[in-house]
């Protein structure tokens, strides 16, 4: 099993450009999440999808959109990139039901907006 | 609002020098407390889940404990390969959204 995969690994954008970050999991998990990680801020939730066909806002959703394409895939789109969106983006998925409630993370996408 | 505070921010230990990392939290309706390890340039790696006060989990040199207000990650006789950032997170609600602390950077030297 590959677990959670993310593409691309690195990306540089100019202000105003758009892009889509891709995430896929092969663990048959229902829930998927997008986080951003900034120095001194910790990981913050952008959007999540509790199940296929549903998406909800997290703590910092402004400037982002998401699509739960199917059970495996959850993409994050930046429509008009801004320097404040320079960050490391992590996708995660979760098995459901106690005790297996932990989230598993991908390797991250490092995004720089100039 | 759920809050997680980790201390210290950074910790430097010599190999074999045991210590503890602290994670204090406030959450309405704790669903679980999670510990992750993160190496530079990589995603967080799951270590433990704790669900109720008094619970303990162990893995190699690591032991996690939970009270009603905080969790400790005890590191016994650490080795240089234990060097990493250790993240604590809590979840609440049915969607299990995680709220993370800012982490403790651990460096273990020879």
pLDDT, tens digit (0-9, with 9 covering 90-100), for A78-94? 999 999 999 999 999 99
Q: Going by DSSP bridges, is the β-strand pair A87-94/B97-100 parallel, antiparallel, or unpaired? A: unpaired
Q: Which residues contact B109 (CB under 8 A, 6 or more apart)?
A: B12, B13, B14, B15, B80
DSSP A18: -
pLDDT given for residue A16 in this prediction: 97
Question: What is the pLDDT averaged over residues A63-68?
Answer: 97
pLDDT given for residue A113 in this prediction: 98
Other CB atoms within a 10 A radius of the CB of residue A28 amount to 10
Those residues of chain B that have pLDDT short of 50 are: none
Instruction: Spell out which residues of chain A touch residue B103, defining contact as CB-CB under 8 Å.
Output: 42
Among B39, B43, B47, B23, CA closest to B100: B23
On whether the CB atoms of residues A88 and A75 are closer than 8 A, the answer is no
pLDDT, tens digit (0-9, with 9 covering 90-100), for A33-61? 999 999 888 899 999 998 899 999 999 99
pLDDT, tens digit (0-9, with 9 covering 90-100), for B55-86? 999 999 999 999 999 999 999 999 999 999 99
Chain A residue with minimum CA distance to B103:
A42
Work out the mean pLDDT of chain A and round it to a whole number. 93
pLDDT given for residue B95 in this prediction: 65
Contact A4 B98 (CB under 8 A): no
| b/e sequence B79-101, b meaning 16+ C-beta within 10 Å | eeebbbbbbbbbbbeebbbbbbb
pLDDT, tens digit (0-9, with 9 covering 90-100), for A7-18? 999 999 999 999
Kind and range of the H or E element at A109? strand A109-113
pLDDT given for residue A41 in this prediction: 86
On whether the CB atoms of residues A108 and A90 are closer than 8 A, the answer is yes
CA of A110 vs chain B CAs: smallest distance (Å): 9
Rounded CA-CA distance A75/A24 in Å is: 8
**What residues of chain A have any CB closer than 8 angstroms to a CB in chain B?**
4, 31, 33, 40-45, 48, 50, 56, 58, 90, 94, 98-99, 101-108
């Amino acid at each position: 099993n590959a677990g959670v995969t993310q593409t691309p690994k690195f990306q540089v954008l100019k202000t105003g450009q758009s892009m889509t970050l891709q995430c896929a999991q092969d663990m048959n998990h229902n829930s998927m999440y997008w986080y951003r990680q900034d120095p001194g801020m910790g990981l913050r939730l952008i959007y999540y999808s509790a199940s296929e066909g549903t998406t909800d806002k997290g703590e910092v959703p402004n400037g982002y959109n998401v699509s739960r394409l199917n059970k495996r895939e959850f993409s994050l789109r930046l429509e008009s990139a801004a320097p404040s969106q320079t960050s490391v983006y992590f996708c995660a998925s979760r098995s459901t039901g106690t005790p297996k409630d932990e989230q598993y993370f991908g390797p991250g996408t490092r995004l720089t907006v100039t | 609002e759920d809050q997680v505070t980790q201390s210290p921010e950074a910790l430097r230990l010599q190999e074999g020098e045991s210590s503890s990392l602290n994670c204090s939290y406030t959450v309405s309706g704790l669903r679980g407390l999670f510990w992750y390890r993160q190496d530079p340039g990589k995603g967080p790696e799951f270590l433990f889940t704790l669900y109720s006060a008094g619970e303990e989990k162990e893995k190699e040199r690591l032991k996690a404990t939970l009270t009603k207000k905080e969790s400790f990650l005890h590191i016994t006789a650490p080795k240089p390969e234990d060097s990493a950032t250790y993240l604590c997170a809590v979840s609440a609600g049915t969607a299990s959204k995680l709220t993370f602390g800012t982490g403790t950077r651990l460096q273990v030297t020879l």
